Structure 1
Amino acid sequence: MRVVVAIPDAGPFVERLRAGGHTEVAVLAPDVMVGVAREGSGATEALAEADVVVLAASRAWLTREVVELCDRAATRIVAWARDPSERRFAEVLGVAVVDADVDALDAVTALPSPRPRGRSRGRVIVVWGAAGAPGRTTLAIELARETARDGRRVALADADTHAPSVAIALGIPDEGPGLAAACRRASRGELTPAELTRIAEPAGAVEVLTGINRTTRWPELGSGRVMRTLATCREWVDDVFVDVSASLERDEEIVSDLDGPRRNGATLAALESADLVVAVAAADPVGLSRFLRAYPDLRATVGAVPVHVVVNKLRGGPLGIDPRGQIRRSFERYAGIERCWFVPWEPRAADAALLAARPIGEGNGRGPLPAAVRRFVGEAIAPPTPSTPAQLRRQRVTGRAAPVRSAP
């Protein structure tokens, strides 16, 4: 068997292969492998003659060009994954994947894991809030992180055309392709789950589609494009959380170009595609007033889609005695909202997370805010009974079983 090895520090791996009887082993640096695929070189012929290529599963090296080159040459790829995010990336591409600590002889004989059949459609969960800063992005990040802890494939998309901030909050470069690139490919009919994996940036266990880096680029997130992108996201992950802007106005009556893009088109398209909406209100008189005025417009936009209300930044100062009771009574009286969830105001943890560019729950997992998010996910967003091995393992270890509920 002819084997090409393109992984960092390949020496011990190659020695083990040769000791096991594989004498025809060639070594390529991973970046050279990418150059071969893009430009072609003398190494292309050697690659075409190989039976197996063991390639590092990094997004920088396991590229579309490399996969296409190996497909044309009928050379099987074995992705060598150093962490769970690389394993997930390789699995989406449909190639065989092994962990970095697996025996070299087992690696070259690995077969692609069968893809699950009859996989249910993923859910689109939109995080919306009234004007101001009720904490939409913070909650979207925390909800995505907490949902991913149950072993589900989770993505986070920033569709805010007024003030996108997911990339900044997570320390991800906003010059990357992100959601805008996914929308462009969707408009040409070229968007696939594998392409979404290439475009997305990993943030722990969550795949992130960053937003536009300049608000003047909002026409790139057209309504039709966003809808087609979210439809593909349903095939890509189990749950995609979409952070959207506050504005819900439809301005067709005041413009002459009825077919032109709309600034709020991305928000409206996401809400119309949603299986579930998380509506965020800030726990102060101004935030609650803005929320109650905008809530009827939200209900008119989403129709019968379930809406779960979360009151964020809860503290006693702005509302006096019994803030929870006051908020519940106001919601029930003025909006007919019979149930809501509360997330406490934890400024030190929020500041520390923003400074470190990470979710609050990563450095403060037992704090009041992550605990409130965990409770909300378990009661309102938790998926049906776990069916994947990772979910079942987590249930056995933690004893936390997701409640059985009907699909949204």
Structure 2
Amino acid sequence: MRVVLALDGARASTLAEDLRLEGAEVRTVVAAGDPAAAVADAMAGPEAAELLGELARADLLIVAAGRGALTAELVGACDRFGVRIAPVCAREADRRLAAMFGLHPYSGDADAVALLRPPERPETAVESAPGGRVLAVWGPGGAPGRTTLAIELACELVRDGRRVGLVDADAHAPSLALATGLADEGPGFAAACRQAERGTLTVAELARIAAPLGDVEVLTGLNRPGRWPELSQARVAAALDVCRAWVDDTVVDVAAPLERDEEIVSDIDGPRRNAATLAALASADVVVAVVAADPVGVSRFVRDHAQLRAVVGATPVRVVVNKTRGGPLGIDARGQVRRTLERFAGIEDVWFVPWDGRAVDAALLSARPVAHVSPRSALTGALRRFVGEAVVPPIRKPVERRERGRTGLSARLLRTA
């Protein structure tokens, strides 16, 4: 294990020797505030740049907790690098600071063995309480409205008092942060995937790295599509398993491509560009498939539907026809789409979301969900019906028989029944 040690005084050299005796590779020993200063300004000098490089290659950062040493920028950088932080807390205020960042505090006299050992997972980890659902929102290429419907679906689910998480697992064109006005420089879903691979992802850690969107907790996506190898199939599946214990419903926005081209041309176990999409669909309890209500969008969906069914197997697929309007389809747009999907894809149950350009434009202008900007819009109403009928079916109470208005034989039969 590669360790960066940031402590002041004689304690630093003593602990470094103990760490080496335990088999750790101590890369560098610096003052407590140096890592935070290097992250804040890597151009301050060659020493800062060198320290930042060592931090990027490390597995563990042991740092003295304090306002100047343990900062939000340092925690965010370590999340991006996949570095575990072990804050050494000498005072109660230091412990509160570490807890604020969701870090496990270590006492000031903690030995090398304790610092090298990851903290035990809490009882709320996924192994002990797997109960939440995963809902994957997929659609073919051509912008049918996957991200918009994923955001509105999460906002609608949270109205019933559920705990809802919204995840951007699109490895091709992530846009959840842009659509909701959230910063995409935070750790987000990629950091959750890295920690899940190491087995250190917990519910508390998910709550720390998530960004709030009203009552919805959001794990933003990659800030650069070139980082797609970070979303491997094993990482994504493990992270979504922990999400089941984190919230009641996890809505996952995924990319369109479903191909496994890498497996065809090579048998080497390497990165797969579509691994995140395939892993999310395989982990989903419900798949919401989005169709654009125009001839091109319906044609693309029909062609990809068979491949989608091959990926998800027996998982329920709820088909939503988005941007429904008469312009590109003429008279009886809904009937034409319904008959086409039934004839060429065997889909009988379809839900329609109307074209509501004014509400969507207002949401994009303010970088907020449509449900927050136009709660009475046609789009919000259609999603509400869809959630009630297809995602969370209402409990149907038995209808009581009533005698009011009955006369003659029927009334006598009811009274004697």
- TM-score normalised according to structure 2 size: 0.68
SS in 2 for 1:291: helix
Aligned-pair identity in percent equals 61
Deviation at 1:363, TM superposition (A): 1.4
Q: Which residue is equivalent to 2:266? A: 256
Q: C-alpha separation between the residues in 2 aligned to 1:335 and 1:133?
A: 20
Question: Does structure 1 residue 172 correspond to structure 2 residue 182?
Answer: yes
Q: Which residue is equivalent to 1:78? A: none
Q: Is the 8 A contact 2:99 2:105 kept in 1?
A: no
Q: Which residue is equivalent to 2:67? A: 35
Distance 1:120 1:178, change over 3 A: closer
SS in 2 for 1:149: helix
Q: C-alpha separation between the residues in 2 aligned to 1:302 and 1:71?
A: 50
Q: C-alpha separation between the residues in 2 aligned to 1:355 and 1:153?
A: 27
Q: Is the 8 A contact 2:137 2:253 kept in 1?
A: yes
Question: Does structure 1 residue 64 correspond to structure 2 residue 64?
Answer: no
Question: Does structure 1 residue 138 correspond to structure 2 residue 148?
Answer: yes
Q: Is the 8 A contact 1:276 1:306 kept in 2?
A: yes
Question: Does structure 1 residue 403 correspond to structure 2 residue 413?
Answer: no
Deviation at 1:380, TM superposition (A): 1.0
Deviation at 1:250, TM superposition (A): 0.8
Deviation at 1:38, TM superposition (A): 3.7
SS in 2 for 1:125: strand
Equivalent of 1:314 in 285, 309, 324: 324
Q: C-alpha separation between the residues in 2 aligned to 1:221 and 1:352?
A: 32
Q: Is the 8 A contact 1:274 1:305 kept in 2?
A: yes
Q: Which residue is equivalent to 1:30? A: none
Q: C-alpha separation between the residues in 1 aligned to 2:358 and 2:137?
A: 23
Distance 1:350 1:38, change over 3 A: same
Question: Does structure 1 residue 304 correspond to structure 2 residue 314?
Answer: yes
Give the letter for the 1:161 counterpart.
Answer: A
Farther-moved stretch of structure 1 (356-365 vs 304-313): 356-365
Deviation at 1:382, TM superposition (A): 1.4
CA offsets 1:159-182 (integer angstroms, 9 cap, x no match): 111110000000011111111111
Matches within 5 A, 1:113-262: 121-256=131-266, 258-262=268-272
- In structure 1, the gaps of 5 or more residues are 1-32, 74-92, 95-113, 384-401
Q: C-alpha separation between the residues in 2 aligned to 1:343 and 1:218?
A: 31
Q: C-alpha separation between the residues in 2 aligned to 1:71 and 1:366?
A: 56
Distance 1:329 1:185, change over 3 A: same
Equivalent of 1:368 in 369, 378, 384: 378
SS in 1 for 2:348: coil
Q: C-alpha separation between the residues in 2 aligned to 1:285 and 1:189?
A: 46
Q: C-alpha separation between the residues in 2 aligned to 1:72 and 1:288?
A: 65
Farther-moved stretch of structure 1 (248-257 vs 197-206): 248-257
Give the letter for the 2:102 counterpart.
Answer: R
SS in 2 for 1:198: helix
Q: C-alpha separation between the residues in 2 aligned to 1:354 and 1:144?
A: 17
Deviation at 1:63, TM superposition (A): 1.7
CA offsets 1:316-347 (integer angstroms, 9 cap, x no match): 10000011111111111111101100001111
Q: C-alpha separation between the residues in 1 aligned to 2:135 and 2:181?
A: 23
Q: C-alpha separation between the residues in 1 aligned to 2:241 and 2:313?
A: 19
**Greater Rg by CA:** 2
Distance 1:404 1:216, change over 3 A: farther
Runs of 4+ in 1 over 6 A off after TM superposition: 70-73
Q: Is the 8 A contact 1:277 1:307 kept in 2?
A: yes
CA offsets 1:284-335 (integer angstroms, 9 cap, x no match): 0010100111011001110100000000000010000011111111111111
Q: Is the 8 A contact 1:382 1:403 kept in 2?
A: no
Deviation at 1:37, TM superposition (A): 8.4
Q: Is the 8 A contact 1:161 1:266 kept in 2?
A: yes
Question: Does structure 1 residue 283 correspond to structure 2 residue 283?
Answer: no
Deviation at 1:120, TM superposition (A): 6.1
Q: Is the 8 A contact 1:187 1:228 kept in 2?
A: yes
Q: C-alpha separation between the residues in 2 aligned to 1:235 and 1:266?
A: 20
Q: Is the 8 A contact 1:37 1:69 kept in 2?
A: no
Give the letter for the 2:307 counterpart.
Answer: D
Q: Is the 8 A contact 1:125 1:274 kept in 2?
A: yes
- TM-score normalised according to structure 1 size: 0.69
Q: Which residue is equivalent to 2:334? A: 324
SS in 1 for 2:105: helix
CA offsets 1:124-166 (integer angstroms, 9 cap, x no match): 1000001111000000000001001111110011111111000
Distance 1:192 1:404, change over 3 A: farther
Distance 1:251 1:71, change over 3 A: farther
SS in 2 for 1:224: helix
Matches within 5 A, 1:47-58: 47=93
RMSD value, Cα: 3.2
SS in 2 for 1:207: strand
Deviation at 1:47, TM superposition (A): 4.8
What is the aligned residue count?
308
Distance 1:182 1:45, change over 3 A: closer
CA offsets 1:229-280 (integer angstroms, 9 cap, x no match): 0011111110101100110001244433521010000000001111000000
Deviation at 1:68, TM superposition (A): 2.2
Q: C-alpha separation between the residues in 2 aligned to 1:348 and 1:324?
A: 21
CA offsets 1:196-247 (integer angstroms, 9 cap, x no match): 1111111111111111111110000000100000011111110101100110
Distance 1:289 1:205, change over 3 A: same
Q: Is the 8 A contact 1:314 1:344 kept in 2?
A: yes
CA offsets 1:22-70 (integer angstroms, 9 cap, x no match): xxxxxxxxxxx96288499xx944659xxxx9x79xxx982234x6269
Q: C-alpha separation between the residues in 1 aligned to 2:382 and 2:70?
A: 49
